[in-house]
Amino acid sequence: MVIEGLDGAGKRTLTDGLVRALEQGGARTARFAFPRYDADVHAALVADALHGRLGDLGDSVHGMAVLFALDRRGAAEELRAATSAYDVVLVDRYVASNAAYGAARLGQDAAGEFVGWVHELELVRFGVPAPDVQLLLRVPGEVAAARAAGREAADASRARDSFESDGGLQARCAAVYEQLAARDWLSSWRVLDGTGGVGAGIATVVGELVSR
């Protein structure tokens, strides 16, 4: 299960709550979060580029997308092993993040060339496993931005990068996410309202998983 949304939407909080609720119910869970900044060299390069430490690399939409994709390619076997060994695998950001942010940077929508290119690159060429279900945690852009700013103020290690601090990009990305969800891109999608917190979303998701 993949959790998607804007920077500051509350994806980590939702993931934490889902893990607790599922494990209290006896489910075996595993979790991943992308980019894997501390575990993969491509993700480390992403971090450098997003903070302006690699010259003009951060300006290249396709170059950045390849780095994001290579990070997931490096985790593909671990992801497959986890889906066999655990009842639920939760992933904070996945292929749809690459599609949404890249399309937003290029001014395209979910039907544009870039989204199709990401599908071909990650799932076909790199063999990244497809998600079974994706959750879009929907929050207004101003709410997500305020949360991201508060997180930065409280923790110096979580300074916002060039994507997180670009309000226009975040707004365009939110629109592409909505389109991807409406199209059930790669898998079925569920949209959760994260404006008032994620408690209701946790109960909803856990209830659906238990009923499967």
For 25-41, write each residue's pLDDT tens digit: 999 999 999 999 999 99
Q: How far is CA 145 from CA 153, 169, 174, in A?
A: 12, 11, 12
Look up the CATH number of the domain holding residue 153. Answer: 3.40.50.300
- Structural domain count, the chain: 1
In tens, the pLDDT along 117-154 reads 999 999 999 999 999 999 999 988 777 667 666 665 66
Tokens of 20: 């607790």
- pTM, to two decimals: 0.87
Contact 134, 2 (CB under 8 A): yes
Residue 164, phi then psi, degrees to nearest 5: -65, -30
Range of the domain at 43: 2-211
Supply the pLDDT for residue 157: 59
Q: Is the pLDDT of residue 197 over 90?
A: no
Which strand (E) or helix (H) includes residue 193? strand 188-193
